[in-house]
């Protein structure tokens, strides 16, 4: 989780202070992606003779801002100096290689002269081999990152080309040669003093977008975007942006190019060249493939969506948006007229493939983290209504072990962003094996949306909080509708389907009712704030709720938590229970309710500190001797109960976090 933002103004005069603020604001929009360190690079006064300036700082974005202005005040750098052309890059980091520290922050440099600078999202898996090679050639390393090998490799390639007499080597040729040596997942943006006012971006497995703001508004939104459309000779003023997330672009422009894997985007003289990198083609010399033609797309996002409004945190805003986001997810898809015969669902993205899905040997859900948990919550209802076996795969594990995927399988890839690296690798693997691939994402135009055969957008709206909330509940709803669509040709389960459709119709107002438990959850958060660990037990549909609740505790409260299948309680977890360990048991009314009552009895016998979530009116049935703390929630049809049950867990985790930072 890191963030890239770059800004290039062409034939439009901007002061250095303005450029800095554009970069800072871009990082603020991306801070949720990484917040332990940050850095920027801008040009010095003499772009041709003086190296670019680099500022890096441990801490959040505001720490970087203060540090930059402090350093500027201590020098004679003129913030009012104007540039008609200028390229700046910036980065916010979540440490993976090397501790949070200025030396490990980005941009990473090729050396003292800042000949090449790079900001990087992702992981270079062969960096140790590259580092050893560069050390043998006299390079020294200052950071502990995997990224530092990239600018140093660029300098090595540039210097070698010049030593061999190739004085005309271009920036794109250097970068193409660099990425030929890289293995792993990455999104990269390059800046170089040898190529002033130029930027290069490339990606493999990590998202990256180019935003275009034509200040004369001559280009049409659907126009082709290539050298022919943006020649360097036209002098048309424009601003160009690179970002790892659309959130940082929408306040500047809605015209974007979604950079594809293997593409190298070269910004020079106000023009943009796009090259397709093919690792298999190399003749031993620096070469450049022909530029390719792409088209701009329009962001379906408004600035208001990325603002917190009246809320203190994005996560708080997104939790309270769930009644509206669920309504939007179902809008136009639930058909529920007066007669029973009219109760059905319509998923336009799947209608041409439903017959193929119904003939599948099995359905394979693939996801990571919260998306995996959402798929797990829907597994039972998909099996029940479709009659097709459903298996669950964590994306990274599927790829690691090369698990069997067959032509007769339907593989469903679940991802909020549609750009999750491990899920994309699993999608590539499934496509190679001939499976029908279905995408469930929240992002129109994402890699998963583009590369699957069909799919459903969850339409939950922009989600900025790192800990997914409204996307999770919308994913469950979409997969419940997927189950309804697959099973729509079976008469035997018609009554069951209609009950679920009725439940979906009333679900948003039930979620709104749960959100009124804020004060009760605040008291619970105060009780948990001094704890070091938490167990969450669930069963049936609510095993996924237990996993998701525990995940949120880890992500947001930074406390150890474990989601446990209640049926496995006797096989190890029961030994952990004592009077000091807080335990959440999800025991709402469904086919597993009596079994959960038995679990509560056993945990009580071990003097466990129980927090029980139950259906309204069931307090007496789940509170043994009145000793348990009870959270009562509305009842809905069993397969949708996980949507209701996760909301109190989301709220208590957020309140826990807010108490810890006070």
Token pair 């530029």: residue: 291
Q: What is the DSSP string of 23-62?
A: HHHHHHHHGGG--SEEEEEE--SSTTTSPPEEEEEESSHH
Exposure string (b/e) for 539-549, b if CB count within 10 Å is 16 or more? bbbbbbbbbbb
Token pair 């006012």: residue: 197
Whole-angstrom distance, CA of residue 202 vs CA of residue 178: 11
- The two tokens of residue 435 are 């499976």
**617: exposed, middle or buried (Cβ count in 10 Å: 0-12, 13-18, 19+):** exposed
Evaluate whether 600 touches 612 at the Cβ level (below 8 Å).
yes
Task: Return the number of other C-beta atoms located less than 10 Å from residue 15's C-beta.
Answer: 15
Evaluate whether 397 touches 508 at the Cβ level (below 8 Å).
no
The DSSP call for residue 1 is -
**312: exposed, middle or buried (Cβ count in 10 Å: 0-12, 13-18, 19+):** exposed
Choosing from 2, 202, 368, 614, which is the catalytic residue?
A: 2
* Dihedral, 487, 488, 491, 495 alpha carbons, nearest 10: 90
Whole-angstrom distance, CA of residue 610 vs CA of residue 586: 10
- The two tokens of residue 168 are 């005309």
What beta strand segments (E) does 591-639 contain?
A: 609-615, 629-633
Find the radius of gyration of the CA atoms of the chain: 27
Task: Return the number of other C-beta atoms located less than 10 Å from residue 648's C-beta.
Answer: 24
2 is catalytic: yes
- Give first-to-last CA distance, the chain, whole Å: 25
How far from chain centre, in Å, is Cα 616? Answer: 35
Please name which of 185, 178, 73 lies closest in space to residue 133, comparing C-alpha atoms.
Answer: 178
- The two tokens of residue 476 are 């469950």
Q: Which residues pair with 189 in a beta bridge?
A: 119, 201
3-state secondary structure (DSSP) of residue 616: coil
- The two tokens of residue 68 are 């930059």
Task: Return the number of other C-beta atoms located less than 10 Å from residue 137's C-beta.
Answer: 10
**188: exposed, middle or buried (Cβ count in 10 Å: 0-12, 13-18, 19+):** buried
The size of the chain, in residues, is 662
Q: Which residues pair with 275 in a beta bridge?
A: 264, 291
Please name which of 392, 472, 386, 399 lies closest in space to residue 430, comparing C-alpha atoms.
Answer: 399
Give the H/E segment covering residue 392: strand 390-394
Q: What are phi and psi of 232, to 5 degrees?
A: -70, -15
Strands 454-457 and 533-538: unpaired
3-state secondary structure (DSSP) of residue 92: strand
Contacts of 466 (CB under 8 A, 6+ apart): 1, 32, 33, 315, 555
Catalytic positions: 2
């Amino acid at each position: 989780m890191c963030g890239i933002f770059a800004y290039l103004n062409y034939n439009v005069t901007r002061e250095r202070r303005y450029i800095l603020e554009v970069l800072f604001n871009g990082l603020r929009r991306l801070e949720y992606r990484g917040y332990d360190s940050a850095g920027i690079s801008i040009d010095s006064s003499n772009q041709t003779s003086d190296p670019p300036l680099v500022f890096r700082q441990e801490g959040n974005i505001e720490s970087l801002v203060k540090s930059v202005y402090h350093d500027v005040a201590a020098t004679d750098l003129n913030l009012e100096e104007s540039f008609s052309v200028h390229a700046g890059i910036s980065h916010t980091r979540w440490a993976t290689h090397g501790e949070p520290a200025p030396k490990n922050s980005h941009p990473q440099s090729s050396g003292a002269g800042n000949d090449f600078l790079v900001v990087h999202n992702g992981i270079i898996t062969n960096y140790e081999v590259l580092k050893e090679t560069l050390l043998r050639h006299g390079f020294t390393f200052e950071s502990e990152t995997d990224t530092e090998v990239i600018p140093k490799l660029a300098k090595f390639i540039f210097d070698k080309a010049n030593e061999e007499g190739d004085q005309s080597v271009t920036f794109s040729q250097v970068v193409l040669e660099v990425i030929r040596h890289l293995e792993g997942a990455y999104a990269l943006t390059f800046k170089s003093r040898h190529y002033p006012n130029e930027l290069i971006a490339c990606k493999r497995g990590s998202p990256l977008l180019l935003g275009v703001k034509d200040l004369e508004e001559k280009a049409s939104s659907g126009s082709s975007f290539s050298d022919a459309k943006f020649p360097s000779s036209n002098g048309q003023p424009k601003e160009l942006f690179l970002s790892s997330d659309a959130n940082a672009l929408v306040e500047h422009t809605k015209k974007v190019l979604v950079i594809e894997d293997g593409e190298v985007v070269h910004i020079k003289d106000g023009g943009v060249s796009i090259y397709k990198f093919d690792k298999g083609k190399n003749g031993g010399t620096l070469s450049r493939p022909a530029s390719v033609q792409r088209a701009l797309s329009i962001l379906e996002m408004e600035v208001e969506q990325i603002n917190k409004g009246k809320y203190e945190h994005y996560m708080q805003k997104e939790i309270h948006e769930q009644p509206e986001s669920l309504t939007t997810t179902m809008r136009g898809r639930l058909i529920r007229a007066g007669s029973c015969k009219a109760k059905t669902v319509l998923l336009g993205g799947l209608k041409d493939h439903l017959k193929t899905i119904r003939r599948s040997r099995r359905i394979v859900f693939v996801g990571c983290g919260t998306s995996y948990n959402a798929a797990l919550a829907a597994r039972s209802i998909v099996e029940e209504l479709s009659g097709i076996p459903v298996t669950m795969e964590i994306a990274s594990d599927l790829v690691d072990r090369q698990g069997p995927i067959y032509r007769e399988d339907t593989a469903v890839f679940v991802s909020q962003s549609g750009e999750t690296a491990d899920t994309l690798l699993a999608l590539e693997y499934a496509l190679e094996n001939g499976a029908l691939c279905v995408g469930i994402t929240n992002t129109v135009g994402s890699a998963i949306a583009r590369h699957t055969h069909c799919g459903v957008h969850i339409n939950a709206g922009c989600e900025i909080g790192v800990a997914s909330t409204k996307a999770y509940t919308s994913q469950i709803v979409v997969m419940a509708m997927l189950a309804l669509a697959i099973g729509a040709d079976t008469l035997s389960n018609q009554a069951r389907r209609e009950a679920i459709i009725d439940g979906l119709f009333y679900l948003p107002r039930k979620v709104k009712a749960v959100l009124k438990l804020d004060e009760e959850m605040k008291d619970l958060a105060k009780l948990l704030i001094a704890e070091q660990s938490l167990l969450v037990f669930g069963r049936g549909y609510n095993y996924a709720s237990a996993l998701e609740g525990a995940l949120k505790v880890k992500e947001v409260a930074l406390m150890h938590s474990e989601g446990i299948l209640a049926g496995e309680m006797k096989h190890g977890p029961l030994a952990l229970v004592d009077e000091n360990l807080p335990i959440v048991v999800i025991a709402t009314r469904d086919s597993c309710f009596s079994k959960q009552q038995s679990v509560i009895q056993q945990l009580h016998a071990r003097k466990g500190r129980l927090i029980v979530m139950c259906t309204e009116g069931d307090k007496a049935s789940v509170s043994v001797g009145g000793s348990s703390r009870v959270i009562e929630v509305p009842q809905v049809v069993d397969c949708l109960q996980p949507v209701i049950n996760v909301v109190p867990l989301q709220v208590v985790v957020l309140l826990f976090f807010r108490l810890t930072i006070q």
